[in-house]
Structure 1
Amino acid sequence: MNVPVFLARKVRHAPEGSFSATVTRIGVTSIALGLAILIVAFAVLFGFKNTIQQKIFLFGAHLQVSKFTNNASYEETALPLNTNLYRDSTRIPGVRHIQAVAMKAGILKTDEELTGIILKGVGRDYDWNLFRESLVAGAVPVVGADTGSGSTQLLLSQYMANQLKVKVGESIPLYFLGNPPRARKMTVVGIYETGLEEVDKTIALGDIRLIQRLNRWGPDSVGTYEIFVRDFDNVETTAANVFDVMSPDMRLIRVTDQYRPLFDWMMLLDRNMVILLSLIGFVASFNMVSVLLVLIIERTPMIGLLKALGGPNALIRRMFVFVGLNMVSWGLLIGNVVGLGICYLQDRFKLIPLDPKNYYMNYVPIVWHWPTILALNFATILLIALVLWIPTIIINRIQPVKALAFKK
């Protein structure tokens, strides 16, 4: 058996309650606790960012293209569907999906309450997949059907439904400003809730054909193209590709500009995570240096004996690094079990609730990002392996004669 393995086993199998065993447990606990906290922190961070982004993309899409106009109201200028951008969207690098929508301001009124809304008209090309987690009652409207009944179906937010005191299946008049004002009797077929106050208070969804008739547009005229990219990390590159295909009378809006406060908040979360990662890494490294330094001092007579027998400093230093890495392996094992276990319990049972008014969601979300979890493990091993060489420098200054006479 080689010397590093012998020393590692000797420290690891120190008598229960001995000083070496206590110090070893402190080192293992420090690594395990730090890694578990990092795993949970990154899972929650990615969960927050992913949940908020998906809620934003419900109504913002990644990119929006509309007719260039100086009009600052909700009355849109007609945008034809027969354009190179809409017709050949699948050929644009980075574009995953494009859908045509239209917006129009209106007022929902009951006998006792009224509220202003923005009716977002959608067609058959609209992607409802993002609504699966936000739909709390009923179903999504039937849009683009051959019969005319679909154009009177309405999807309200939970906030609007509570304010107007309406439920799924009830009818409610929707008034559009004009001269004279026009009214349509709408049927509430579904209720959604995103937790984003600026969305839940204003946006209702219906059939785009209703807005086309109100604006006296043809079936080939819409208000906006909503574009979803394949990889949001490359949204700027895709935006440049879309811009190259656009006509001169079109304008492009990125979701990061439309909802800048929310994305700035998510950038702040990233900065806080960097600070947390640095602090935990510093504490874990400091603890390991302290633990190994204590073990070196405790085993000074053994170091003196090895030097007296001709053992070089490099070999003795490697032995103590091996001891530290042995503690790291146990710390990683325990840290992964604890961190992943906490994430599983929260993801499965939603144990920690949140106030949606402040956090835009009902519970702490968890995202399993395995590359990050593996990177945390490798980074922990690399960082501690590097700092473990620092306390072993003291071994070079230990003199055999004094070490053999050293008393603990």
Structure 2
Amino acid sequence: MNLELFIARKIHFDKNGDRQATPPAIRIAMIGIALGLAVMILSVAIVIGFKKEVRNKVIGFGTHIQISNFDNNTSYETIPIAFSDTLLQALAANPAIAHVETFATKPGILKTEQDFQGIVLKGVDEQYDWTFLKKNLKEGDILHFDPDKRSTDVLISKYLSDLLGLKLGDSFLTYFVGEEVRVRKFHISGIYETGFADYDKLFVFADIRQVRRLNGWDDDQVSGVELLVHDYDQLDQTAEDLYFEMANRQDREGNSYYVRSIKDLNPMIFSWLDVLDINVVVILVLMLAVAGFTMISGLLIIILERTNMIGILKALGQNNRSIRKVFLYVSFFLIGKGMLWGNVIGIAICLLQSTTHILKLDPTIYYLDAVPIDLSLTSLILLNIGTLAISMLMMLGPSYLITQISPARSIRFE
């Protein structure tokens, strides 16, 4: 029989006797643990969800890796590369690459009778992965291509449609400035809304053959190649390997290939997302500190209230280590109850937000219209294990108070 555990259970679960100090101390300690763990669960779920949603939107517009002309600048008026079947086969044979697609861009000015707006016409073909845009499609349908003729259908954002008063089925003129001004008439077949204002206000998706004709390119020339990888965690390594592989290749015009990951293309966004990890660490440390010191206060109160009992146990031959174990068991019971309620509160709020999206955000600032939630079982388990371990370690210090209690004086303690 575990004597220390038996005494601890009697102390914690016994509802008889005059215990005026212990119940408030227990409640305060439990509330501290519960609120601390709930805040930690919410912090981790929100930050992971936020990073995942923003990252997926950036990847949705630009995929994981882009291969373009080494001589390109940062504008959307690009120098083309020739995309050959040999290059396609080499990329498709790479086990890290899940999908290959090509694109071409052309800056222009979208004009209506009342207004105009600068846009980038992004040409894609039948190989384009529409998963992201289908998820964010508000009206109409994605582009469908006829192999025998160029399509005039385009996909525009809800931002542009609202700004320029356009709706599904409307047509508009777009002006492209080069050596001469060219005008094209397009028909709106679909309207999308991602909430990522930086891209929503910019991109209009069209048939890549329209962009090739505007740029005067051959049928195999593109602005770049977009690649999706199987494992995002291996993105940096895959991009690095591909960079050195492509460094030894040139297209039929002698152009060199330039490989960049989505992190290289959007360094400010991904650096900002990385900074959020620091915020989570700060929150976790603060919450653990608050919960821990609350538990320390509660344990000290319990020890002081049980001074008489400690003296009796010492007089009966119990050593300091054994009595400390008793109060560490009591601490474990308190922390366990607090964590139970903390999990209930934290998970309940996460489920409420993920199903109702009651907490809204300004998409022009945060790129999302509601607070995102992504709470995995792994994160939840690690948070609970970490909270329990750190809280119990913090209890070791105040438990040393027991070694300073004298049996002769403590038995007379009231």
1:245 equivalent in structure 2? 245
Offset of 1:137 from its aligned partner? 2.0
Corresponding letter in the other structure for 1:240: E
1:321 equivalent in structure 2? 328
TM-score for both structures, normalised by structure 2: 0.93
Tell me if 1:222 matches 2:229. no
Corresponding letter in the other structure for 1:169: G
Corresponding letter in the other structure for 1:48: F
Offset of 1:391 from its aligned partner? 0.9
Offset of 1:229 from its aligned partner? 2.1
SS at match of 1:6: helix
Q: Decide which moves more: 253-262 or 391-400.
A: 253-262
Offset of 1:337 from its aligned partner? 1.0
1:38 equivalent in structure 2? 40
TM-score for both structures, normalised by structure 1: 0.94
Equivalents in 1 of 2:223, 2:402: separation in Å? 75
Tell me if 1:381 matches 2:382. no
Structure 2, unmatched stretches of 5+, are 251-255
Structure 1, unmatched stretches of 5+, are none
Change (3 A) 1:25 1:97: same
Offset of 1:128 from its aligned partner? 1.0
Work out whether residues 111 and 172 of structure 2, in 8 Å CA contact, stay in contact via their aligned partners in 1: yes
CA RMSD of aligned residues (A): 1.9
1:100-149 Cα deviation digits (max 9, x unpaired): 11111122111111112110011121111112332222222213x32536
Q: Which runs of structure 2 are paired with 1:80-159 in the superposition (5 Å)?
A: 80-82=82-84, 84-143=86-145, 145-148=146-149, 151-159=151-159
Offset of 1:70 from its aligned partner? 5.3
Offset of 1:98 from its aligned partner? 1.9
Work out whether residues 353 and 363 of structure 1, in 8 Å CA contact, stay in contact via their aligned partners in 2: yes
Tell me if 1:363 matches 2:364. no
Work out whether residues 12 and 24 of structure 1, in 8 Å CA contact, stay in contact via their aligned partners in 2: no
Q: Given the alignment, which residue of 286, 289, 292 partners 2:299?
A: 292
1:268 equivalent in structure 2? 275
Offset of 1:10 from its aligned partner? 2.8
Equivalents in 2 of 1:350, 1:208: separation in Å? 37
Equivalents in 1 of 2:179, 2:337: separation in Å? 76
Equivalents in 1 of 2:44, 2:271: separation in Å? 18
Equivalents in 1 of 2:280, 2:409: separation in Å? 47
Work out whether residues 21 and 301 of structure 2, in 8 Å CA contact, stay in contact via their aligned partners in 1: no
Corresponding letter in the other structure for 1:141: L
1:37-72 Cα deviation digits (max 9, x unpaired): 111111111111111111111222221110122556
2:253 equivalent in structure 1? none
Corresponding letter in the other structure for 1:108: L
Corresponding letter in the other structure for 2:78: E
Equivalents in 2 of 1:61, 1:136: separation in Å? 21
Corresponding letter in the other structure for 2:166: V
2:205 equivalent in structure 1? 205
Work out whether residues 134 and 142 of structure 2, in 8 Å CA contact, stay in contact via their aligned partners in 1: no
Work out whether residues 44 and 375 of structure 2, in 8 Å CA contact, stay in contact via their aligned partners in 1: no
Work out whether residues 68 and 81 of structure 2, in 8 Å CA contact, stay in contact via their aligned partners in 1: yes
SS at match of 1:142: coil
1:254-275 Cα deviation digits (max 9, x unpaired): 2222222211221221111111
Change (3 A) 1:133 1:9: farther
Change (3 A) 1:234 1:403: same
Work out whether residues 197 and 363 of structure 2, in 8 Å CA contact, stay in contact via their aligned partners in 1: no
Q: Decide which moves more: 56-65 or 165-174.
A: 56-65
Q: Quick one: percent identity of the two aligned structures?
A: 36
Work out whether residues 157 and 201 of structure 1, in 8 Å CA contact, stay in contact via their aligned partners in 2: yes
Aligned length: 405
Offset of 1:314 from its aligned partner? 0.8
Equivalents in 1 of 2:337, 2:7: separation in Å? 17
Equivalents in 2 of 1:220, 1:109: separation in Å? 30
Change (3 A) 1:212 1:17: farther
1:347 equivalent in structure 2? 354
Change (3 A) 1:70 1:381: closer
Corresponding letter in the other structure for 1:369: S
2:165 equivalent in structure 1? 165
Work out whether residues 304 and 399 of structure 1, in 8 Å CA contact, stay in contact via their aligned partners in 2: yes
Change (3 A) 1:349 1:181: same
